[in-house]
Amino acid sequence: MELDFILSKEEEKPTGKTELIYDLVIIGGGPAGMTAAVYAARKRLKTLLITKDLGGQVLWTAEVENYMGYQYIEGRQLVNKFKEQVRHFPIDQEIGEEVEKLSKEGEIFSILTRGGKKFRGKTVIIASGKKSRSLNVSGEKRLIGRGVSYCSICDAPFFEGKEVAVIGGGNSAFEAALDLVKIAPKIYLIDIASSWSADPVLLEQIEKEKKVTSFPRHKVKEIKGDDRVESITIEPLDGGQIKSLSVQGVFIEIGLVPNSEFAASLVKLNQAGEVAVDCSNHTSIPGLFAAGDVSSVPEKQIIIAAGEGAKATLTAHQYLLRSR
C-alpha cells in the first residue's frame, strides 16, 4: 500500500449557545447541511449547525467525477473545499454532537443532543443524510468488530487468509469483494435480489474471479459464533435448502437508511423512512424543512444534496420573513 498522509481542513468552533433562540438550526453537516449553512450566513440568519461530522458520506467516497467544477476530485478534498467555504462565515457549530430528539414547543423547535445539550430555533433544516443499513438478523449486532463489518476499507486487512462473506449486490458490495480477493482465499457474495445492481465493469471483474462464489436470491438468516463469527446461514428465496457457510468475516454492504429517527415522532416520513418534502423542501410541520439524502427528494447525489440545501435555506428565509 502506498503511504500517504491525509489532513482535513481545520474546523473553527464558535460553539452553540443554549440561551439563544436561533433563526435557523441545521442538523447534519454533509453537502446539504454545509450548503444550507453558507446560504444562511449570507442571508444573515443567526445559524447553528449541529453535526456528528463535517463531510457526511463524501468523507467515505474515494473519488468524485460528477461534481461541477472538478473533473476529478477525491472525496475528502471536496470536503476540504466545502469546509473552507463554510469557515468564512460566522456560524455557530456543534461538531461531534448527535441530535437525539427534535420537538416543537409552541412556535419554537427544541433540539436535544446525545451529550445532553438543548438548543432552540425558529426554523430547522433536517439534513442528516443516510447511514449504512443493517441486516437485522440474529448475531449481527453482537458480533460487530468480531467479524461483522460495515467498512471494508477499514477492516479488510484483518481477514487475510480467512473465508469471508460479502452481503449485497450493488457497487459497494462488489468493490468490497474485489478488495477482499487480494487477501482472502474464498469470498461468498450473497444478495437478496435476483440480478446484481452493480455497474457492468464491476460485474465483469467479479465474474473472472475464481475465489468468488455467488448466491443471488438468497436471504441471510443468521450470523453465528460465540466470541467471533464462525458461520452464516443463508436461505434461497424460492424455498430451497438452508445452507450454512463457514466464514470468519461478514461484510455488510446493503445500502443506506435515512437518519430520521430523531424526528420520527414529529414529522411525516415516507415508506422508506425519508422525511417527506415538497419541491420547496417544506415538511409536514411549518418551519421545519428537510434537504438532501434524508429527504424524499428523488436521486441521491452530492450536487443534488447541495442544491437542496441551498433551496431549503431560501425557503426557511422566506418563512422567517413572513412570520415576523
Partner 1 sequence: MALLKDEVQNEARERFKKLTGQVRLVNFTQKIECHYCEETRRLIEEIASLSPKISSKIYNFTLDKEKAQQYKIDKIPAVVVEAEKDYGIRFFGIPGGYEFNSFISAIYDVSRKATDLSVESKDKISKIDKPVHIQVFVTLTCPYCPAAVEMAHKLALESEYIISDMVESAEFPHLVSKYGVMGVPKVVINEEFGFEGALPETSFVEEVVKASKSTTEAKDEG
Ligand X SMILES: Cc1cc2nc3c(=O)[nH]c(=O)nc-3n(C[C@H](O)[C@H](O)[C@H](O)COP(=O)(O)OP(=O)(O)OC[C@H]3O[C@@H](n4cnc5c(N)ncnc54)[C@H](O)[C@@H]3O)c2cc1C
Residues designated as active site: 151, 154-155
Query: Which of residues 21, 59, 304, 314 is near partner 1 by CB under 8 A?
Result: 59
For the window 33-52, what string marks contact with partner 1 as x by the rule CB under 8 A? -------------------x
Residue 242, C-beta contacts closer than 8 angstroms, at least 6 positions apart: 221, 233, 234, 235
Question: With respect to ligand X, which residue has the nearer C-beta, 33 or 249?
Answer: 33
Question: With respect to ligand X, which residue has the nearer C-beta, 53 or 235?
Answer: 53
| Smallest gap from residue 215 Cβ to partner 1 (A) | 23
Query: Which of residues 14, 66, 72, 115 is near partner 1 by CB under 8 A?
Result: 115
> Any contact of residue 321 with partner 1 (CB under 8 A)?
no
Question: With respect to partner 1, which residue has the nearer C-beta, 40 or 79?
Answer: 79
Q: Taking the CB of residue 150, how many other CB atoms lie within 10 A of it?
A: 16
Place of cell 491525509: 6
Query: Which of residues 5, 65, 161, 182 is near partner 1 by CB under 8 A?
Result: 5
Per DSSP bridges, beta strands 249-252 and 99-105 are unpaired
Task: State the cell numbers at 200.
Answer: 457492468
Q: Which does 13 bind (CB under 5 to 8 A by kind): ligand X, partner 1, none?
A: partner 1
Sequential DSSP letters for 99-159:
EEEEEEETTEEEEEETTS-EEEEEEEEE---EEEPP---BTTTTTBTTTEES-HHHHGGGG
| Smallest gap from residue 187 Cβ to ligand X (A) | 19
Place of cell 435515512: 258
Q: Which does 293 bind (CB under 5 to 8 A by kind): ligand X, partner 1, none?
A: ligand X
Angle between helix axes 200-208 and 171-181 (nearest 10 degrees) is: 30
Query: Which of residues 144, 193, 242, 264 is near partner 1 by CB under 8 A?
Result: 144
Determine the 3-state secondary structure of 250 from DSSP.
Answer: strand
Determine the 3-state secondary structure of 238 from DSSP.
Answer: coil
Burial group, residue 254, by CB count within 10 angstroms (0-12, 13-18, 19+): buried
Could you say which residues in the range 64-103 bind partner 1, by CB under 8 A? 76, 96-98
Q: Write out the residues near partner 1 by the rule CB under 8 A.
A: 1, 3-10, 13, 52-53, 59-60, 76, 96-98, 114-116, 144-149, 151, 153-155, 157-159, 227-228, 249
